[in-house]
Chains A and B, each alone.
Chain A
Amino acid sequence: MEIVVFFISAVIVLSGGIGVVMAKNPVHAALFLVQTLFGMAVLFILQHAHFLAAVQVVVYAGAIVILFLFVIMLLGVDKAERLDVDPIVGQRLVAPLIGLLLFAGLMAVLVGATEFTDWSWSARFGDFGVDTELNGRPGAEAPIATDRPDVNQLGERLFTDWVFAFEITALLLTIAVVGAVVLARRITGELEPIPEAEDLWVRSRPVAADADGDDAVADGEDVADGDDAGDAADEKADA
């Protein structure tokens, strides 16, 4: 049973992955990505990681791909990239070659590392990860205890062993939001000139009439921006 489910979902995952790369239309590529992510969710369930499977569907297939679609739609689907010119000469020849090399290398390593003692079908595919020991050591499946739901176990680990990494991740998300807001904010209205060398030079001298009153007008709606440049420009005008 397990093996059948595995092969079906593996086919779904791989065909989805190939579809993402091959699809001409970016919307189709995004939809192929959903297919891959669903296949992965099934694989997670197969490994008794129910929580991960749910998160996979809700966060990745649900939220992230929808965001992709938003961006694609906003940028315009019809604007196709020109594919007939290579930005780097020979790129299109070399890329698949390197890809194939990497694939062959990975396969060689994987096959070389897997020391099958019994080459029968059931030994190879019957029990995942248990019989196919890598270098004599059990795989990473050990800590999962089956007597408790994996949500409990995950939560316990998150708030004991990895509590610090967990909190740091929270900070990371906050920072990403702050930075994204700053970078994505559109500057409207007249731009203040970036000060020239003379402005900096003038600034360092005592200025007779400080033109503070103009700043609010000059800065317009962009309050976090342009105060000093405004000063510099004003002083230049005064001079």
Chain B
Amino acid sequence: MLDLLAQAAQPEFARPRIDWFALSPELVLLSLGALLTLLDVVFAERAKAITSAIAGLGLVGVIIPLVAVWTRVNDGDVLYAFAEKKPGATDPVGLEHYVIDEYAIVMKILFVLVGYVVVLLSTNYVAEGDYWESEYYGLLISSILGMVVMASARDLIGIFVALELLSIPAYLLAAWRKRDKLSNEAGLKYYLMGVFASAVMLYGMSLLYGTTGSTLLVDISKAVGGRESSSIATLGIVFVAVGFAFKVSAVPFHNWAPDTYEGAPTPVTAFLAVASKTAGFVALLTLVYVGFWGRGDVYEPLMWFLAAASMTIGNLLALRQTNFVRMMAYSGVAQTGFIIAPLAVAGNGDIADAALSTTVNYLAIYAAMNLGAFGVLIALARKTRSAEISDMRGAFHYAPGLTAVMTVFLFSLAGIPPIGGWFAKFRVFSVLVQDDSVSGYLLAVVVAVNSVIALYYYASVARTMWADEAPDGDLTPVNVPPSLVAALGITVAITLVFGILPSVVGDFTDVSLLAGG
């Protein structure tokens, strides 16, 4: 009977060969998310005590397959998750849709670590705010799965599906504080802006597919790269890049960020500000280095504009904020500018690899210092119940440890040596100068000026915490739960190590996309 069916199908359907080993991190994450959701169904209330522990342990567990795969791709090898046996060929040929190379693995490890720290930040916050715990962690894990998929996706459809998988849980999590109107507003704004960005991006993707006849980035690269002006492909590239500019909250597509950050639960804000933004950058990097490679004339001016505008406008608006979360939102916009800046010179073949590893390096440090700053805020808010900068007055007098740690993060964000953020900014600056072009030098000047502006508002928060008197002379110490201590320990360690021993960790982020693409 089966034979008959097989014969009836014309032509014979060939199942693609699946490399389960290469896919193992994704599968573990998927099982973790399913487990968390099922635990709630089976054990109901009794499961609540362990959900966050399982989410955290599971994310640590995902590191094992990730490192195992990493050892296989470390020396420039590339794994294809799916392979197809073409008629006539003896060996199956890897499909370019889903590629696991060193760049992908490094980004996946970063996403999983960020996810772990976010779980640590969430543990007490979610339990004490009586939010839906198991669904919270289930959605968080699936969003991380979306990011992990994004790191490997190398065709337009895969990138789009990964983007939706990481965004939709994030829309929901932003509105997680259901009783709070601000949180509802945060979720709604984020959702509407995100959907609008997706629509613009899809239109760009359809134009790219229409002109190149393929959704694979390698094929698109062959079709659009090297040709002299082709306006439709240009329009496609711009629209797709604009779609991701929303995701990374680059000016002029940043309007959603402050309101969403302010309204969302603080751990979710940290997740959006770090993980979601990094995922947007991963997609941008993949697109620029694999898909639009050779069309530097199109994306370089665009990235230049986005970088310069984000840095300047983000910093100027951050200066005026009185709420720490809103300030961090605008500071995040400015940091986006710093991270995009190397892409403005990425088309120069000599420094393309340097620009890529600079960006990846910045993303890793940015993740540590930004998560840390939000971690300190979450710890302080256990006492103050507020995110206003004025309510952080005199924190040194009742929480000296938290204040010192916050100072490290703020100075790192500002880029003061010898902390991690300084190393990241220095590399951006040097890559811009290495390009040896007018636009490169100009952008380097913008970077330098903005670093100085940024120092003002970061330092003024630190001054408020160290020098002012505590409100009402209330010196009851802050009760910091162990999970927050762990999160702050991890982030401080990474921030400092990147600054003091950059050569040790710099290797981690030295990746290349050009060899594979």
Minimum CB–CB distance from B489 to chain A (whole Å) comes to 19
Contact partner of A168 among B139, B161, B178, B233, CB < 8 A? B161
Contacting chain A: which of B162-170, B353-361, B364-372, B446-454? B162-170
Could you say which residues of chain B place their CB within 8 Å of the CB of A197?
382-385
* A142, CB-defined interface residue at 8 Å: yes
Residues of A within 8 A of B162 (CB): 168
Residues from chain A with a CB closer than 8 A to the CB of B149 are: 164, 168
Which residues of A have CB within 8 Å of B157? Answer: 162, 165
Tally of B interface residues using CB under 8 Å:
66
Cβ contacts under 8 Å, B15 to chain A: 159-160
What residues on B are CB-neighbors of A138 within 8 Å?
A: 213
Given known A135-B227, A197-B384, contact A140–B213 (CB-CB < 8 A) = yes
- Residues of chain A within 8 A of B175, CB atoms compared: 183
Interface 9-mer from B40-48, B296-304, B395-403: B40-48
> In whole angstroms, what is the CA distance A232 to B479 when docked?
15
Known: A179-B169, A183-B178. A201 touches B479 (CB 8 A): yes
Closest residue of chain A to B44 (Cβ to Cβ) is A223
Q: Is B469 an interface residue (CB 8 A)?
A: no
Docked CA distance A232–B130 (Å): 11
In A155-178, which residues have CB < 8 Å from any B CB? 156, 159-165, 168-169, 171-172, 175-176, 178
Q: How far is the CB of A164 from chain B (nearest CB, A)?
A: 5
Task: List, in ascending order, chain A residues with CB within 8 A of B211's CB.
Answer: 113, 134-135, 137, 139-140
Cβ of A227 under 8 Å from chain B: yes
| Distance A179 CA – B157 CA, assembled complex (angstroms) | 24
Minimal beta-carbon separation of A132 from chain B (angstroms): 11
Q: Which residues of B contact A195 (CB under 8 A)?
A: 128-129
> Contact between A183 and B164 (Cβ–Cβ < 8 Å)?
no
Shortest C-beta distance, B271 to chain A (Å), equals: 15
Q: Is the CB of B81 within 8 A of A156?
A: no
Q: Is the CB of A171 within 8 A of B30?
A: yes
Shortest CB–CB separation between residue A82 and chain B, in angstroms? 19
Could you say which of B158, B179, B232 contacts A187, with CB atoms under 8 Å apart? B179
Interface string of A184-215 (1 = CB under 8 A from B): 00010001101111001101100000000000
Q: Complex: how many Å from CA A141 to CA B309?
A: 40
Q: Which residues of B contact A223 (CB under 8 A)?
A: 44-45
A171-B145 Cα distance, complex, nearest whole Å: 10
Mark each residue of chain B from 165 to 204: 1 if its CB lies under 8 Å from any CB of chain A, else 0. Answer: 1001100100100110000000100000000000000000
Asked if A19 is at the interface (CB within 8 A of a chain B CB), the reply is: no
Least CB distance, A237 to chain B, in whole angstroms: 17
Using a CB-CB cutoff of 8 Å, which residues 29-69 of chain A contact chain B? none
Bound-complex Cα distance A118 to B192 (A): 44
Which listed residue, A135, A171, A204, touches B142 by the CB 8 Å rule?
A171
Could you tell me the distance between the alpha carbons of A180 and B81 in the complex, rounded to whole angstroms?
32
Give chain B residues whose Cβ lies under 8 Å from the Cβ of A175. 138-139, 142, 165, 168-169
Interchain CB contact under 8 A, A172 and B161: yes
CA distance A182 to B133 in the complex (A): 11
Q: Does B231 contact A (CB under 8 A)?
A: yes
| Cβ-closest chain A residue relative to B479 | A204
Give the CA-CA distance A161 to B97 in the complex, in Å: 7
Q: In the complex the two chains form, what is the Cα distance from A228 to B15 in whole Å? A: 50
Which stretch, A20-28, A70-78, A90-98, A104-112, touches the partner chain B? Answer: A104-112
- Taking A113-B231, A179-B139 as contacts, is the C-beta distance between A165 and B212 under 8 angstroms? no
Encode A122-150 as 1/0 by CB contact (under 8 A) with B. Answer: 00000000000011011110110000100
A194 to chain B: which residues have CB within 8 Å?
129-130, 179
Partner of B95, one of A112, A161, A200: A161
**Most B CB atoms within 10 A — which of A112, A161, A229?**
A161
Q: Does B16 contact A (CB under 8 A)?
A: yes
**A164 with B82: CB separation less than 8 A:** yes
Given known A164-B158, A175-B142, contact A224–B132 (CB-CB < 8 A)? yes
Are A200 and B82 CB-contacts (below 8 A) given A161-B95, A178-B135? no
Shortest C-beta distance, B190 to chain A (Å), equals: 13
Bound CA span A200–B480, Å: 10
Q: Which residues of B contact A178 (CB under 8 A)?
A: 37, 135, 138-139
B67 at the interface (CB under 8 A from A): no
Taken together as a complex, chains A and B put the C-alpha atoms of A213 and B129 apart, in Å, by 20
Q: Is B476 an interface residue (CB 8 A)?
A: yes
Per the bound structure, the CA–CA distance linking A120 and B57 in Å amounts to 69
Chain A residues near B227 (CB, 8 Å)? 135
Q: Give every chain B residue within 8 A of A142 (Cβ-Cβ).
A: 213
CA distance A164 to B45 in the complex (A): 34
Q: Cβ of A238 < 8 Å from any Cβ of B?
A: no
| Residue contact A228 to B127, C-beta cutoff 8 Å | yes
Task: Assess whether B259 is interfacial by the CB under 8 Å rule.
Answer: no
Give the contacting residue for B130; candidates A172, A196, A229; CB below 8 A: A229
Are B130 and A140 within 8 A (Cβ)?
no
Q: Which of A108, A135, A137, A148 has the most CB of B within 10 A?
A: A135
A235 to chain B, nearest CB (A): 12
The residue in chain B whose Cβ has the minimal distance to the Cβ of A135 is B230
Asked if residues B382 and A110 are in contact (CB atoms below 8 Å), the reply is no
Residues of A within 8 A of B230 (CB): 113, 134-135
Bound state CA distance, A146 and B351, in angstroms?
Answer: 47
Most buried by B among A106, A172, A179, A196: A179
Known: A160-B84, A178-B135. A227 touches B130 (CB 8 A): yes
Using an 8 Å CB-CB cutoff, how does the interface string of B61-91 with A read, 1 for contact, 0 for none? 0000000000000000000011010000000
With A168-B165, A171-B142, A225-B130 known, 5 other A-B pairs at CB within 8 A are A148-B10, A160-B15, A165-B97, A179-B135, A229-B128
What is B's interface to A at a CB cutoff of 8 Å? 10, 13-16, 30, 37, 40, 44-45, 48, 81-82, 84, 95, 97-98, 127-135, 138-139, 142, 145-146, 149, 157-158, 161-162, 164-165, 168-169, 172, 175, 178-179, 187, 209-214, 223, 227, 230-235, 382-385, 476, 479, 481
Which 4 A-B pairs give the minimum distances between C-beta atoms? A179-B172, A135-B230, A229-B130, A113-B232
Q: List 25 A-B contacts (CB under 8 A).
A: A113-B231, A135-B211, A137-B213, A140-B210, A143-B213, A160-B14, A160-B15, A160-B84, A161-B82, A162-B158, A163-B16, A164-B81, A168-B146, A168-B162, A169-B161, A175-B165, A178-B138, A178-B139, A179-B135, A182-B135, A187-B178, A197-B383, A200-B479, A201-B476, A225-B132
Q: Which residues of A contact B (CB under 8 A)?
A: 106, 108-110, 112-113, 134-135, 137-140, 142-143, 148, 156, 159-165, 168-169, 171-172, 175-176, 178-180, 182-183, 187, 191-192, 194-197, 200-201, 203-204, 223-230, 232
